[in-house]
Structure formats: structure tokens, C-alpha cells
Chains A and B, each alone.
Chain A
Amino acid sequence: MAVAARPPRRLINRIAGRHPVGVAFAAPYMIFLVVIYAYPIILAIYMSFHDYFFAAPGAHVDRPFIGLDNYITAFEDPAFRRALFNVVVFLVINVPLTVGLALVLASALNTALPFRTFFRASYYLPYVTASVALIGVWLWLFNSDGLVNAIIGEAGPDPTWLVNRFWAMPIIALFATWKQLGFYVLVYLAALQNVPQELYDAAAVDGAGKLRSFQHVTVPGVRSATTLVIILATIVGANFFTEPYLLTGGGGPNGASISPVLLMYQEGIEQNKPGYAAAIGVILAIGVVVVSLVNRFLLERD
């Protein structure tokens, strides 16, 4: 303790704190955060205000400042509007299903249960598995000759699920809900550990059944977790790419399931308009922050 209790005397301690070596230990991580997060964010904003494009290596090119042009182009672009609409469709399906199912499942898995490990593993497995692998199975399931149509027969839509303008997005949203649900179950399981048992006991004394104690104890007790789940689901919903790229064959049919990130890939990298793609990224990031703040305000007031 003698060392720890010694007051900082040397200049280096006054500058860098009691353990200056901590600066050195944290420096590689800090450099990583600056290079991989802070700098690219600034670069994204810079690019979004310029007519940025890829030129041959070494070529000296002029990339003029164009103000808000990229942003104006985005909002006038039907593909971008469709992508935003698809994010809304995605969230409208995904968020209520995720919050509802994850909370109910977490509550169920938090009770004394036979085979709890099995149940928990089943619901968690899609989360740890690669999207590309799972999409391979969904392609087979929802193919025109696939098992889903084999089961429901003539009742299936025409054109079939993944090439149907109406059904492409709901299938993507369902896939993402199934894939991610296990993670959110865990978030709620963690939150449930903090709901005092006394509240359940008190509710039971007052004659509340399971349903009422779920409604009046569990739901309010995990409200901050609900905020987190909604915010994380919003971030995922603004970011989906692999599903429209692979499951619906590049945002098909005919752009009906385009996502913002897929559009960024097509415009920024395939069409050589990275400035425009960066602007889409900035709009989305701002959108996610605004939606998160609004959610938080709505869910956590009072």
C-alpha cells in the first residue's frame, strides 16, 4: 500500500496521473478507435459534401465542394426513398415481434424449467450462426418449389415469396427477427435478474395471476432494457445488407427490397459515387440517433 498511497510528486505523474504507463497500455486501443472510428466518421462527413469519386492511383483529381447536393440527390432518388420506406417496413415488423417474443421467452426461460439449457440454446443458435449459411436454408425453404409452398400448396403468393414485391420485405424482416432474437432474449434475461422477487411476491399476495404480474411487474421492471432492445433493433434495421443482397437477389424484385446499405454499395462502390454513398450513410446515422432519442424519451419519461 505504501506505493499506492504515495502522493504524485514527479512531473510525469502530474501530467499523466499516478500510473503514467496506463497511457501507454491504452494507447494502441485509442489509436485503433481514432483510425477506425473517429477519422472515418469525419471523412464520411467530408466526402458527403464533395463530389468524391475514385480515380486511378496517383492521379491528381479535383473533387469540388458541392454543399448539400449529395443530400438533395438522396432525397430526390426514388431508390433511396424506397430504401427508407423498406427500413420502416422492416422496423414495423421486426421491433414489435422482437420486443414481444424476446420478453416473453426471457420470462419463460427465467423460471424453473426442465431442459432450460436446451431451450436457451435453441433460441440462441441462429444468433451465433453466419447469415450467409442461414440464408442458404431460407432460400431453399421459400423457393417457388420449396418446402413452405409444398406445405401450404396453392395458398402461397404468386409470384412466390422472395420474388414478390409485397412479400420480399416481410420475409427479410422475419428472417432478421429469427436470427437476432436470441441476443435480445439475453438482454432481457440480464434485466430480469434485477427485478426484485419481492415485487412478484407482493403481486401474488394481492392475488395477481401470472399474466397480471407479467404486465404489472415484469414489463415496467425491464423498461430500460426495452429501450436498449429498441435502439439496438433500430440500428440493425438501418444496417441490413446481407438479406436483400442474397435472400432477395440484390434487393429484388426490381428494387422492392432495396436497403440503404445495399444502395450505398451499389452507388458508392459499383457506380463510383462514394460521396453520394457517404451522404446516405450520414443521413442514416442521424436518423438512427434521432429515432433512438425519441424512443428513449417516449419510453423513459415519468
Chain B
Amino acid sequence: MAETIQADDVVDPVAADEAEPRAHQPELRAPGESWKRVGFLTCLTAGALVFLFPFYYMIVGALQTEPNPDVSGAFPDPSNLTLDNFADINTALNLPRALLNSGIFTAGVILGTLVIGLLAGYALAQLEFRGRGVVFSAMLIVLIVPFQLLMIPLYVMIVRWYGLADTHLGMILPFAVNATAVFVFRQFFMQIPKDVFDAARIDGASELQILMRVAIPISKPALLTAVLVTFIGPWNEFLWPFLITKETDMQPLAVALANYISNVAARAANPFGAILAGATVLAIPAVVLFLAFQRKFVQAHLGSSVK
């Protein structure tokens, strides 16, 4: 498995950043071809609409005063629109608190990834030291370690041994360094000529100074990519924070909303309206970030997957 992800096989995420995936040239078409083309585009559009429909339906449902699950309910009815569902989920969940917890969880993971991951990525790319190969192999192996193997022992360690249940630290620890981001950093620093750093070494700069004054200032594109790929992990994560948080005050939004769905919703007046309003709030940050930086997202994932 590890051999399928080879360092040299990987598109450099930054250099590839500006380049769209190479498109195959359209061939010269016979007259009948244009009908095939129409059919092809129709299928692709229909597929895209099927994929997007649940997002549209989430927003429509979140805005309905009376839940309307009929076919007509899929079209917004101006007389049946409200923002009350957002107010309902806000009181039911303590939305600001849940968002704050999600934010701290996510920020902690991003911070850990930027500090520890950047150091490791830079060392893997630019420094020759004993054990470099081991670190690199370990980084690739963890990409495929199934979480179910780690879940119970991590629970024992973090909740039982270290007493970190219901803490942000306990949520953050297992995700503290995103392996894909380390990979992004390594790929970024690989494509910077060694001379850039050697010049600073000749000037007598320490490695830490080189990192702070030379490496980090030029790595802004890699930092942004790393933040983007890291963000969706903790923001969307459900299982781990669900396992270790019992206090509602400590639950990130994904966990709070899931608990609302499984426990409270049955007693609410318009449960689906409130659920969908909560789902919309949970979905928006990741969707907006993705749409705003789509190219970076795509290129980072293209870059870190096999060719």
C-alpha cells in the first residue's frame, strides 16, 4: 500500500496550482456527434442536480414554517417561509457555544498542524538527518491506519488515563497533526532549491532562523492549502468528540446536532425545520470555504493522491 503513494509520483501542489488538469483535446466530430454531446451534457447536468438537490432541500426545509414533505414542498412557498427554525435550534442547542466548541476544536487542530506539521515537512524536504526515511514512511502508513483500531485505546488513554474527557485538548489530540498537510508542506519545500537555504546558512543563520525568516515567508500558498485540507476534518468530525464529550457545554456543533436529532427532536414542534436549520449552520462554513478556494482544495487533493 505504502508503495502506491510515492513521493516522486505526486503532483507538486503549488506548481500545479495554476494549471488546470490537462483536458483531452476534443476530436473533430462527425455530424451525429453533436447529439451525443447534448446527451452527454444532459446526463452530467442531471447527475450534478441529483448531487446538489439535498443541499437545496436542506435550505428549503430550514426555511419552512410548516414542514411540507410533499413534492410541492420542494419549491419555496413565500407564505410558508420563516427564520424561526434557526431561532429554535439556537435555543435548543446553545448554538453560539456549540459553534465556539467547533471553532476551538478546529483551530487547535489547524494550529498543531501548522506548527508541528510545518517543522516536520520542512525537515523531511530540506534537511538530511538520521531517521528521515522512518519519519516519511510513518507519515504514509498513518494515512491508512483505520480509526476503528485506535478508537478504543485512544478512549482509554485520553479519557481514563489523562482525564481529558469534556476538554478541548482531548478532542484535539488525536487529530493534532493532519498527515495530508505534512505531505503538502513536504512537497512545497521539495520544490524550493536547496541553494536558497544554503545561502542563509553561509550567512550564519541557524536552522530555526532560516525556518522563520526564509521558509515560512515563502510558504504562504502551502499554508493556505494546509489550512483548507485540515479544516474539514475536525469541523465535520462526529465520532471522536461524540465519544469523549458528555457535557453539552463542551460539544461541537456536529455532536450537539446529532444529539438533538436522536434525543430531542421527537418532542419539538417542527423537528425537521430545526434539524435542517442546524444542518445548514453546520454545513455553511465548510461549503463556503470550499467554494471560495475550490482550486486550492482540488489541487491539494490531486497533489496528495496517487497519479
Interface residues of A (CB under 8 A from B): 1-4, 15-23, 25-26, 28-30, 32-33, 36-37, 39-41, 43-44, 47, 52, 54, 57, 105, 108-114, 117-126, 128-141, 143, 145-147, 150-151, 178, 181, 183, 186-187, 189-194, 197, 200, 204, 224-225, 227-228, 231-232, 235, 238-239, 241-242, 245-246, 249-250, 260-261, 264-265, 268-269, 274, 277-278, 280-282, 284-285, 288, 292, 296
Which B196-223 residues sit within 8 Å CB-CB of chain A? 198, 201-202, 206-208, 211
User: Does B110 sit at the interface, judged by CB under 8 A?
Assistant: no
**B123/A37 in contact, CB under 8 A:** no
The docked-state distance in angstroms from the alpha carbon of A296 to that of B4 is: 10
* A-B CB contact pairs (8 Å), 15 listed: A26-B124, A112-B23, A125-B51, A125-B52, A130-B235, A131-B236, A132-B279, A136-B261, A147-B74, A193-B21, A193-B307, A231-B1, A249-B262, A281-B148, A285-B145
Which B14-68 residues sit within 8 Å CB-CB of chain A? 21-27, 40-41, 44-45, 47-49, 51-52, 54-55, 57-58, 61, 67
| Contacts A2-B202, A147-B71 supplied; 4 other A-B pairs, CB < 8 Å | A29-B135, A120-B294, A134-B283, A292-B1
Known: A121-B291, A137-B276. A242 touches B238 (CB 8 A): yes
Given the complex, which residues of B lie within 8 Å of A121, measured CB to CB? 290-291, 294
CB contact between A136 and one of B25, B74, B149, B278 (< 8 Å): that residue: B278
- Bitwise, B259-276 to A at CB < 8 A (1) or not (0) is 001100000000010011
Within the complex, what minimum Cβ distance (angstroms) separates A257 from chain B? 14
Known: A187-B305, A190-B302, A265-B243. A17 touches B130 (CB 8 A): yes
**B147/A239 in contact, CB under 8 A:** yes
Known: A151-B71, A183-B301. A139 touches B207 (CB 8 A): no
Which B114-168 residues sit within 8 Å CB-CB of chain A? 115-117, 119-120, 122-124, 127-132, 135, 138-139, 142, 144-157, 160, 163
A-B contact count, CB below 8 Å? 349
The docked-state distance in angstroms from the alpha carbon of A185 to that of B66 is: 38
CB contact between B157 and one of A40, A225, A239 (< 8 Å): that residue: A40
**B26/A40 in contact, CB under 8 A:** no
Q: How many chain B residues touch A (Cβ–Cβ < 8 Å)?
A: 113
Known: A26-B124, A140-B61, A190-B306. A18 touches B129 (CB 8 A): yes
Within the complex, what minimum Cβ distance (angstroms) separates A259 from chain B? 9
The docked-state distance in angstroms from the alpha carbon of A58 to that of B1 is: 42
CB contact between A268 and one of B40, B128, B152, B279 (< 8 Å): that residue: B152
CB contact between B26 and one of A47, A111, A133 (< 8 Å): that residue: A111
Which B68-96 residues sit within 8 Å CB-CB of chain A? 69-71, 73-74
Q: Which residue of chain B lies nearest to A268 when distances are taken between CB atoms in the complex?
A: B152
**B258/A246 in contact, CB under 8 A:** yes
The docked-state distance in angstroms from the alpha carbon of A26 to that of B55 is: 42
CB contact between B306 and one of A3, A4, A225 (< 8 Å): that residue: A225
**A186/B298 in contact, CB under 8 A:** yes
**B24/A131 in contact, CB under 8 A:** no
**A143/B262 in contact, CB under 8 A:** no
**B146/A136 in contact, CB under 8 A:** no
Q: Which residue of chain B lies nearest to A117 when distances are taken between CB atoms in the complex?
A: B294
Within the complex, what minimum Cβ distance (angstroms) separates B28 from chain A? 10
The docked-state distance in angstroms from the alpha carbon of A29 to that of B303 is: 21
**A44/B25 in contact, CB under 8 A:** no
Given the complex, which residues of A lie within 8 Å of B201, measured CB to CB? 3-4
**B128/A140 in contact, CB under 8 A:** no
The docked-state distance in angstroms from the alpha carbon of A189 to that of B48 is: 17
The docked-state distance in angstroms from the alpha carbon of A277 to that of B149 is: 9
The docked-state distance in angstroms from the alpha carbon of A238 to that of B211 is: 41
The docked-state distance in angstroms from the alpha carbon of A21 to that of B208 is: 9
The 8 A-B pairs at the shortest CB distance, nearest first, are namely A22-B129, A22-B127, A29-B120, A25-B123, A122-B48, A133-B279, A40-B153, A130-B236
**B151/A22 in contact, CB under 8 A:** no
Within the complex, what minimum Cβ distance (angstroms) separates A53 from chain B? 11
Given the complex, which residues of B lie within 8 Å of A268, measured CB to CB? 152, 155
**B47/A123 in contact, CB under 8 A:** yes
The docked-state distance in angstroms from the alpha carbon of A1 to that of B197 is: 10
CB contact between A134 and one of B54, B147, B155 (< 8 Å): that residue: B54
**B290/A125 in contact, CB under 8 A:** yes
User: Does B232 sit at the interface, judged by CB under 8 A?
Assistant: yes
The docked-state distance in angstroms from the alpha carbon of A187 to that of B157 is: 35
The docked-state distance in angstroms from the alpha carbon of A73 to that of B267 is: 39
User: Does B227 sit at the interface, judged by CB under 8 A?
Assistant: no
**A26/B307 in contact, CB under 8 A:** no
Which B219-249 residues sit within 8 Å CB-CB of chain A? 232, 235-236, 238-239, 243
CB contact between B152 and one of A4, A32, A44 (< 8 Å): that residue: A44
Known: A147-B57, A277-B152. A133 touches B116 (CB 8 A): no
Within the complex, what minimum Cβ distance (angstroms) separates A6 from chain B? 11
The docked-state distance in angstroms from the alpha carbon of A269 to that of B242 is: 12
CB contact between A16 and one of B74, B116, B119, B129 (< 8 Å): that residue: B129
Given the complex, which residues of A lie within 8 Å of B261, measured CB to CB? 132, 135-136, 139, 246
Given the complex, which residues of B lie within 8 Å of A128, measured CB to CB? 232, 236, 286-287, 289-290, 297
